[in-house]
């Protein structure tokens, strides 16, 4: 989590790299200027011009025109303009969620991408295969000194197809070594796909895996696999149990609605227990099975949990979380100091929801603490692009680690051109928020800080209402950013409240100016601000004087391309009395991961700029509020690329 050391670095510059002036109330005609040395007297004029450009970019229907002499350093397109096509559906007919990004009806999918633009999109420190398609993380585990990540992989093309298990290993969750495919579609019970599964370490150290296979008739069944050589720390070769499948859809469950077994945990009777996602009509459910040998299973009466109206539950996860300790727990841990998380990936809306509750191990039932925040209708891991997530208990560092698939939101044609599709989010640790007790805290694993280099520090910058401050950085495509913001308390107290609801997406994103927001950072921005991605807070004051804080990421002007997603994401973030507003942002080319209030609310964005790339990527501080002054402190680290 963020600490005081994250906002202090005596070796980095603390000087404001530019003077600035507030945004004017009315539009002015000014040509945006390029970056100048911070000590030049004309810097004040530069920021004034940039501020006007930023306001136009936020409020106008299109970004400001670039000045004629502005060199973008982006090679002209070498790709012919493609014909408009209707994107194919992938996966649904086989019984899984949609695996192709489908732009909004009427979207123009014929943007002429150049190889230069597409090459920039590949990330520096997020896990991805060397080429082709990837989706769900599978069976993450720490085994004999190595972190293992298996994943849904199509080895023949950068689109979803006949899925096998890709495999990679790491010593630190950051640098990865690709290994041969772990499991192929070589049996009748997984002929149509070796789908999502989980790993369980037994008390004697043995490792077993349960996974969903799609049969030669597209029936979803559960299968058992185990290492061919348990002494091999790299787990190169795997054996599928000759008696597979070990589970088939029970009566009343559709053949294509029975998938994704969890890691097993111990019951009070000494058996092993798993849960599997399904649905009955529109009610999402989690079936419960007990076993002693992972070969024969007993279906328990009822379900672990069910929520009407939520549809098919995929990639269900179930794990304990400590009410007091600042460490993770093995999946079998239970007791008075423990709460339990149920998480499900919702096939209907492609989001991952979780809830905190109480588990009755004798009845095999789980009850949410707050029924209004139940699975599928309440809290989400992430309010952006984040799906099919999976946790594992890392006994190496006594923590629970979260992985997730981050899909592409460009066109299939672009993915084919660049030769790859999808990423994994940076692995996150999970803890119960000991202050609110009503949500979890997610934070990038500590190992990611080993990639930090070349810190730049900006201390206590005072941003008047309407201000824009360009931050002078060596580069802006691979960054780790930690920022704190303080609203002028006198202004907050003086303002009258209003009975007005706020919604990041529905209220126009960063273009909507209120008395107390938006303010934050604009990343992957172009000098002319024709492209930029604001990540920001918006504070709303109610009639009774109470404050609600929203954390948002606005992709609406992230790219001039016409064939990519430009959604605005966000949600409310709890802010307790006396807390400063804080955010951390990981920028890694085409992915931006944002964390508010030390990880209470998280947003993952996929962005595909055409101009704000390579040396033309910039970053800005902004305060687009109409009344409040904001004081900001920002630490920015350049990030080295991982070995992947």
- Among all residues, which ones are annotated catalytic? 136
Q: What is the 3-state secondary structure (H, E, C) of 185-198?
A: CCCHHHCCEEEEEE
* Tokens (6 digits) for 177: 């070594």
Measured CA to CA, the distance from residue 295 to residue 280 in angstroms comes to 26
The percent of the chain in helix, strand and coil, each rounded to the nearest 5, is 10, 40, 50
CA torsion angle 299 300 305 310 (round to 10): 30
Q: Which helix (H) or strand (E) holds 46?
A: helix 43-59
Long-range pairs of 214-219 with CB within 8 A, sequence gap ≥ 24: 214/94, 214/95, 214/190, 215/188, 215/189, 215/190, 215/191, 215/245, 216/188, 216/191, 216/192, 217/255, 218/94, 218/95, 218/192, 218/255, 218/256, 219/248, 219/249, 219/255, 219/256
| Cβ–Cβ under 8 Å, residues 160 and 154 | yes
| Cβ–Cβ under 8 Å, residues 630 and 582 | no
Q: Comparing C-alpha atoms, which of 340, 356, 276, 344 is closest to residue 310?
A: 344
Measured CA to CA, the distance from residue 329 to residue 334 in angstroms comes to 9
Which residues lie across from 133 on neighbouring strands? 154, 421
| SS3 of residue 512 by DSSP | coil
Residue with tokens 């964390």: 595
Instruction: Name 41's Cβ contacts closer than 8 Å, sequence gap at least 6.
Output: none
Measured CA to CA, the distance from residue 147 to residue 608 in angstroms comes to 31
Q: Comparing C-alpha atoms, which of 591, 589, 631, 592 is closest to residue 614?
A: 589
Measured CA to CA, the distance from residue 284 to residue 290 in angstroms comes to 20
Measured CA to CA, the distance from residue 186 to residue 499 in angstroms comes to 61
* Tokens (6 digits) for 431: 């803890």
Count Cβ neighbours within 10 Å for each residue of 215-224 and write b for 16 or more, e otherwise.
beeebbbbbb
| Cβ–Cβ under 8 Å, residues 148 and 179 | no
| Cβ–Cβ under 8 Å, residues 140 and 403 | yes
């Amino acid at each position: 989590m963020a600490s005081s050391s994250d906002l202090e670095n005596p070796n980095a510059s603390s000087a404001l790299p530019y003077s600035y002036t507030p945004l004017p109330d009315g539009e002015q005609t000014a040509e945006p200027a390029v970056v100048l040395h911070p000590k030049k007297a004309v810097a004040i004029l530069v920021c004034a011009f940039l501020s006007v450009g930023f306001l136009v970019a936020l409020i106008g229907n299109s970004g400001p025109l670039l000045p004629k002499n502005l060199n973008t350093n982006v090679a002209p397109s070498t790709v012919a303009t493609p014909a408009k096509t209707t994107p194919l559906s992938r996966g649904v007919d086989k019984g899984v969620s949609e695996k192709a990004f489908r732009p909004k009806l009427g979207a123009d999918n014929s943007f002429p991408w150049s190889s230069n633009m597409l090459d920039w999109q590949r990330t520096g420190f997020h896990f991805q295969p060397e080429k082709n398609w990837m989706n769900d993380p599978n069976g993450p585990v720490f085994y004999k000194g190595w972190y293992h990540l298996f994943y849904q992989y199509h080895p023949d093309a950068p689109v979803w197809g006949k899925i096998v298990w890709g495999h990679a290993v790491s010593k630190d969750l950051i640098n990865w070594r690709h290994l041969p495919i772990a499991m192929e579609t070589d049996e009748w019970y997984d002929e149509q796909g070796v789908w999502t599964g989980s790993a369980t370490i037994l008390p004697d150290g043995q490792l077993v895996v349960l996974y969903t296979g799609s049969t030669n008739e597209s029936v979803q069944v559960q299968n058992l696999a185990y290492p061919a050589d348990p002494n091999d720390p790299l787990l190169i070769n795997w054996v599928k149990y000759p008696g597979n499948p070990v589970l088939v859809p029970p009566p009343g469950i559709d053949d294509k609605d029975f998938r994704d077994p969890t890691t097993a945990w111990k019951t009070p009777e000494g058996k092993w227990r798993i849960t599997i996602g399904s649905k009955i009509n529109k009610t999402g459910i989690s079936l419960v099975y007990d076993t002693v040998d992972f070969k024969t299973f007993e279906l328990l009466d009822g379900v672990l949990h069910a929520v009407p109206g939520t549809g098919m539950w995929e990639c269900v996860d179930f794990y304990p979380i400590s009410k007091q300790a600042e460490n993770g727990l093995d999946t079998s841990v239970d007791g008075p100091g423990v709460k339990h998380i149920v998480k499900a990936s919702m096939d209907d809306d492609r989001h991952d929801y979780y809830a905190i509750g109480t588990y009755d191990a004798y009845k095999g039932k789980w009850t949410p603490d707050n029924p209004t925040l139940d699975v599928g209708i309440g809290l989400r891991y992430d309010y952006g692009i984040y799906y099919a997530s999976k946790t594992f208990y890392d006994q190496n560092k006594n923590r629970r680690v979260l992985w997730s698939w981050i899909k592409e939101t460009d066109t299939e044609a672009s993915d084919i051109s660049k030769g790859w599709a999808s990423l994994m989010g940076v692995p996150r640790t999970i803890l119960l928020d000991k202050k609110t007790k009503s949500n979890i805290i997610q934070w990038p694993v500590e190992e990611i800080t080993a990639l930090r280099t070349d810190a730049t520090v900006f201390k206590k910058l005072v941003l008047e209402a309407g201000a824009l401050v360009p931050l002078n950085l060596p580069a802006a495509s691979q960054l780790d950013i930690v920022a704190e913001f303080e609203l002028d308390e006198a202004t907050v107290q003086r303002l009258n409240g209003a009975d007005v609801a706020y919604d990041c997406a529905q209220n126009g994103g960063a273009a909507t100016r209120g008395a107390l927001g938006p303010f934050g950072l604009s990343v992957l921005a172009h000098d002319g601000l024709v492209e930029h991605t604001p990540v920001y807070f918006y504070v709303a004051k109610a009639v009774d004087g109470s404050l609600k804080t929203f954390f948002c990421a606005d992709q609406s002007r992230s790219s001039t391309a016409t064939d990519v997603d430009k959604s605005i994401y966000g949600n409310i973030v709890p802010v307790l009395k006396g807390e400063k507003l804080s955010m951390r942002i990981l920028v890694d080319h085409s992915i931006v991961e944002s964390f508010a209030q030390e990880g209470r609310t998280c947003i993952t964005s996929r962005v595909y700029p055409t101009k704000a790339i390579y040396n033309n990527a910039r970053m800005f501080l902004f305060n687009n509020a109409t009344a409040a002054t904001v004081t900001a402190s920002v630490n920015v680290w350049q990030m080295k690329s991982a070995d992947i």
